[in-house]
Chains A and B, each alone.
Chain A
Amino acid sequence: MYPLPKEDKQVSPYFVFYLIHSMQVGVGILGFERIIAQSARQNAWIAVIIAGIIMIGLVFLSYRILNRGKNDIVAIHHDVFGKWIGGMFSLYFILYYAILVLVILRTYEEVIQVWVFPDVGAWVFLLIILLIAYYYVIGGFRVVTGISFLGVIYGLPLLLVMYFPLKNGHLGNLLPLFDVTFRELYEATKGMTLNFLGFEVLFMFYPFIKKATKSEKWAYFAVIFSTFIYLVTLLVTFVYFSQEQLKTTIWATLSLWKIVDLTIIERFEYVGICIWFFVILPNICIGLWCASRGMHRLFSIRQKTSLRFICLLVLLSALFFRDRQLVDTLNDIVSQIGLYTIYFYIPFLYVVQMIMKRWKKT
């Protein structure tokens, strides 16, 4: 009923690294510092490491589920819960992928509007970005993988400009070390989860990986690398901003680029925002691909049709979120949904699948 893709549509195991890493580092990194510093202050970096370790645990669980099911989430749901309940859960996942795309798209659009083109209507960039993403996704999974590889490569040089804020910073801002309560750390770790969301796309593209069981280590590398990127960004931000100043800064990472002073580029943040588009694009592409693929599997319609439907859905709902407050609310809601999905649903699925497997054997 749910056939596996042919080999000429699959990608090598190590591409899992790029797919997962590019999905985890997205629009959140531009302003996550403020959110986690609110609860754990100068020790929020501990929360980043803790969140990273938890993610590794969750990726481990995901691989156990997938290796047992040997197919994507829609097929696994069908096997475990049957047609109707399984279908409901699959539909939930499709909506979840779509809403991830919505958050990324809308938040990035807000950055463009505030920083670069305040006088251009929101729908223009939403439409343009979605058209570009549509064009890539229609090319199939291999094209999406390619774009996520390029996204990671294009984004890396941005790490180099961290030198400038470091030069202007005060290392003492990080002191006193470990002066943090368990409760504060818990809050900060929770806040950090939204940024690590996205590895769940694994559930959809798993059958597209050649020798998929071998790709597990690349998924761990991806999470470790994402943690590293977040950690470096956070530490540099803390060294550069005082804690009270950070509270007033919405996009701390973007504001970091304001101090960059290159001979030929006076204002680096505009360059940074443009480069960041290539980091955002794979996020949107992978999300769209996953949602449309899910619909294609669940409802047996052509992926092209489902992709168009989802693009339209995302565009229309993105237009609804007009101002900062609504975008903030959207981010909060998605962060809650994501939290429950990865912390409760994945372990739940793991346990239920294990029980069903034993039960069927006997």
Chain B
Amino acid sequence: MKKFPILILFLAAISGCTPGTKILEDIQLIQAVGYDEMNGEEFKITAGATYIPPGQNTEPRNLVFTSVGKTTKQIRQQIKTNSAKPIETGRVGVVLFQQEVAKNGIERHIDNYQRDANIGRDIHLVTTQGSTEEILRTRYTEGDSVSQHIIDVVDQNMDHTIPDSNLHDFLSQYYAKGYDPFMPYVSKDEDQLKVLGVALYKKDKLVDTLSLKESYILKLLYEPIRKGQFETEWKDGRYISTENLHSHTDYKIKKERGRYHVQLTIHYNGEVSESGGMDLTKEKNIKKMEREVSKAIEKKAQKLVEKFIALGVDPIGLGERARQQKLYDKNWEENYADLSVDVKSKVKITQGGIIE
């Protein structure tokens, strides 16, 4: 019992040092952040949050805070002045960049997110056409919060149409020598949020955007996939559509007389989902279809990779793959512009559907 007073003394001394408690009902969790360009120096931040009014069966309400300033933390400080509750950023799930902001470089904004221990790594970065404030102010669905809706739309598209990307992937590609990052590219159309394609970056600056069709080719080249539709013109304006069962791409890089050569082979296993009026019972027709699809993929992929080279960006990581084959050196960047590319594809199609 002699030690009891000492124990009390310690408890009293330490209790003064406990950090401030954070009770969920008493803080404002920010779920989405948007960056809009104001003028060269300043930009506007829009923070999207949800407020659930007390009571039973209440609908969550959409809250939006905006402020203008020069650094993210500074603006966050200002945003706090219009909020009734302290702002917490631990639950940010999506960060939107207006394309004008993206063109000027987003490094200074991204730095804030990679430095902050409070921010997760699987959050989405998105480039938008049009004001992010408007996107965050619109209520798209009744049930979900706006930020959750944005995340869901982007996630769903990453499964089917555009290549996978999150903060970690962006940073990983941003820092890597033989890679350039990309983001989903969205816009608001009437009262709907729409994914337009992919925004291509050179280092931290927006360079160009890809359409949805091009994005799917990028997805084919970038990662192994198991989903998505690929459409091919048959003849006389008739189209066939195939469902991607699984696909992956092999890269071979050679250096001949100081010139780099890339050989891409796309392996594509598909299933017919729209036959365009073709008789699929004939072996010959299936073979022909494989040839057509293969030709179409080759043509589109070739065009896309050449576009990347012309733009000087490398979202599929040709440089990284060269490094893996010990071919990446100083000359790579200089010679990137006259890289020669050859795309081959091996298509295997099985007849699909429940009718013949």
Decide yes or no whether B324 CB sits under 8 A from chain A: yes
A243 touches B176 (CB 8 A): yes
Give Cα distance in the complex from A179 to B324, angstroms. 10
B20 touches A127 (CB 8 A): no
Known: A117-B19, A128-B14. A172 touches B121 (CB 8 A): no
A258 touches B120 (CB 8 A): yes
Return B15 CB to nearest CB of chain A, in Å: 10
Return A265 CB to nearest CB of chain B, in Å: 11
Q: What does the 1/0 interface line of B35-70 toward A look like (CB < 8 Å)? A: 000000000000000000000000000000000000
Taking CB atoms, residues of chain A closer than 8 Å to B174 are 245
Return B38 CB to nearest CB of chain A, in Å: 29
Stretch at the interface among A118-126, A140-148, A155-163: A118-126
Name B327's closest neighbour in chain A (CB-CB): A176
A245 touches B14 (CB 8 A): no
Q: What does the 1/0 interface line of A228-251 toward B look like (CB < 8 Å)? A: 000000000000111111011000
B121 touches A255 (CB 8 A): yes
Decide yes or no whether B131 CB sits under 8 A from chain A: no
A119 touches B120 (CB 8 A): no
A131 touches B20 (CB 8 A): no
Partner of B17, one of A121, A248, A266, A269: A121
Taking CB atoms, residues of chain B closer than 8 Å to A120 are 17-19
Taking CB atoms, residues of chain A closer than 8 Å to B19 are 117, 119-120
Decide yes or no whether A61 CB sits under 8 A from chain B: no
Interface residues of B in 80-95 (CB under 8 A from A): 90-91
Decide yes or no whether B179 CB sits under 8 A from chain A: yes
Decide yes or no whether B320 CB sits under 8 A from chain A: yes
Return B31 CB to nearest CB of chain A, in Å: 12
Decide yes or no whether B211 CB sits under 8 A from chain A: no
A261 touches B179 (CB 8 A): no
Give Cα distance in the complex from A172 to B324, angstroms. 7
Decide yes or no whether A115 CB sits under 8 A from chain B: yes
Decide yes or no whether A259 CB sits under 8 A from chain B: yes
Residue from A120, A121, A247 with most neighbouring chain B CB atoms (10 Å): A120
Taking CB atoms, residues of chain A closer than 8 Å to B122 are 258-259, 261
Known: A176-B326, A267-B90. A242 touches B20 (CB 8 A): no
A131 touches B10 (CB 8 A): yes
Give Cα distance in the complex from A243 to B168, angstroms. 13
- On chain A, which size bracket covers the interface? 20 to 34
Name A267's closest neighbour in chain B (CB-CB): B120
Taking CB atoms, residues of chain A closer than 8 Å to B321 are 172
Name B121's closest neighbour in chain A (CB-CB): A258
B326 touches A244 (CB 8 A): no
Give Cα distance in the complex from A168 to B120, angstroms. 14
Decide yes or no whether B173 CB sits under 8 A from chain A: yes
Decide yes or no whether A264 CB sits under 8 A from chain B: no
Taking CB atoms, residues of chain A closer than 8 Å to B239 are none
Taking CB atoms, residues of chain B closer than 8 Å to A241 are 172
Decide yes or no whether B117 CB sits under 8 A from chain A: yes
A244 touches B175 (CB 8 A): yes
Give Cα distance in the complex from A175 to B324, angstroms. 5
Partner of B175, one of A115, A117, A242, A261: A242
Give Cα distance in the complex from A124 to B18, angstroms. 9
Decide yes or no whether B325 CB sits under 8 A from chain A: yes
Return A254 CB to nearest CB of chain B, in Å: 9
Taking CB atoms, residues of chain A closer than 8 Å to B323 are 175-176
Decide yes or no whether B171 CB sits under 8 A from chain A: yes
Give Cα distance in the complex from A240 to B175, angstroms. 13
Taking CB atoms, residues of chain A closer than 8 Å to B325 are 175-176
Partner of B121, one of A175, A179, A248, A259: A259
Taking CB atoms, residues of chain A closer than 8 Å to B10 are 131
Q: What does the 1/0 interface line of B5-17 toward A look like (CB < 8 Å)? A: 0000010001001
Decide yes or no whether B177 CB sits under 8 A from chain A: yes
Known: A242-B172, A242-B173, A244-B177. A115 touches B117 (CB 8 A): yes
Partner of B324, one of A176, A259, A266: A176
Taking CB atoms, residues of chain B closer than 8 Å to A248 are 114, 175
Give Cα distance in the complex from A142 to B117, angstroms. 38
Interface residues of B in 307-322 (CB under 8 A from A): 320-321
Apart from the given pairs A242-B173, A242-B320, 17 other A-B contacts in the complex at a CB distance below 8 Å: A124-B14, A168-B168, A175-B323, A176-B326, A242-B172, A242-B175, A244-B175, A244-B176, A245-B171, A258-B122, A259-B120, A259-B121, A259-B122, A259-B168, A261-B122, A266-B91, A267-B120
Can you give 6 contacting A-B residue pairs, CB < 8 Å?
A124-B14, A131-B10, A242-B320, A244-B176, A255-B121, A258-B120
